[in-house]
Amino acid sequence: MIKFEFIGIFLILISIVYTFYRKRYEVALPLIIVLITSLFLLYGSYSL
């Protein structure tokens, strides 16, 4: 099963590419995607 976390990273990668080709009226979309993904993906500073 593909985990949500990898989907999140994939969406951000698409957003980065999208920022180079998007139309003007969709300009906020990448920012909204990265903010929502960050909300679910960021857990803390310390690993292991």
Residues binding another protein (CB under 8 A): 4-6, 9, 12, 15-16, 19, 24, 27-28, 30-31, 34-35, 38-48
Q: How far is the CB of 21 from another protein (least distance, A)?
A: 13
Q: How far is the CB of 2 from another protein (least distance, A)?
A: 13
Identify which of residues 21 and 43 has a Cβ nearer to another protein in the complex: 43
Q: Are 11 and 38 in contact (CB under 8 A)?
A: no
Q: How far apart are CA 6 and CA 8, in angstroms?
A: 5
